[in-house]
Amino acid sequence: DSSPARMAGNLGSTVAPVSSSLSRLQALNGLFAVYKKQGPTSADVLNALKEALLKEAGVQNPNPRKRRKQSLKMGHGGTLDSAASGVLVVGVGNGTKMLSTMLTGSKKYVAVGELGKATDTLDATGSVILEKDFEHITRPDVEAKLKAFTGDIMQVPPLYSALKKDGQRLSVLLKKGHKVEAKPARPVTVYNLTLLEFKPPLFTLDIECGGGFYVRSLVDDLGKALSSCAHVKELTRTKQGQFTLQEHALHEEQWTLEHILQSLQCCSEGELEPEPPEAET
């Protein structure tokens, strides 16, 4: 990079030629998947990814939350709880317009549930609010109950969720001490539900479901159906749309332009109509 161009970049009013790697980055269009580890929110992961890419492109002190300056358009296709890990589909450039198909498409999860304890968040991050016996529950009992949760079912989303009330996330309102009413039950689809392992109090489920489905609600409802209670101890999203954890999810050390170029999927699967060009105003 020639130093005059770099210098010019520091003068606010001067339009400097951006470095070639930044222009390559800004020319990306499509979808790819990253691995989200346990702990950070999905938004945190997206910001860390942006920061890594902008840094690699030579942007000094990139702030991923300031969208205007770096004009790197990115979004993710469906929130994973901070305590969950697995596939997070990312749209870049025009790919962000394709994310809605990810939200509604099928997803696969492996969930480890714990019987005998219910929590306020329905997962291990919450406080235990109820303890019940689970010694009466057998593997055939669980398998029999799973049938009732397969197909088109009605489900009440968890109180602690990314769903919003008056523009604020329910989970944020609850943490601030506000009273929050449960959202009404809504139709969701479960394509496949299998019990992989049963070692009381723990059990492992393999789940394939459609959009808007909450694994935490399923495990909570299942606990009740078994005359006990349960919460999600661990949750991993193994597949979202055509992206699988094994084949497609880029781990943090692979968050580079080259890796993304290799794994970027442009509007594939023929499910996307090209958008009409926007009229210039």
Contact 77, 71 (CB under 8 A): no
Distances (CA, A) of 1 to 20, 35, 63, 82, 251: 9, 32, 22, 39, 29
N-to-C CA span, the chain: 36
Q: 1, 44, 81, 166: which one is catalytic?
A: 81
Known catalytic residue at 1: no
With a CB cutoff of 8 Å and minimum separation 6, the contacts of 234 are 111, 112, 124
Alpha-carbon distance 150 to 171, whole Å?
A: 27
- Is residue 40 exposed (0-12), middle (13-18) or buried (19+ Cβ within 10 Å)? middle
The residues annotated with a catalytic role in the active site are 81
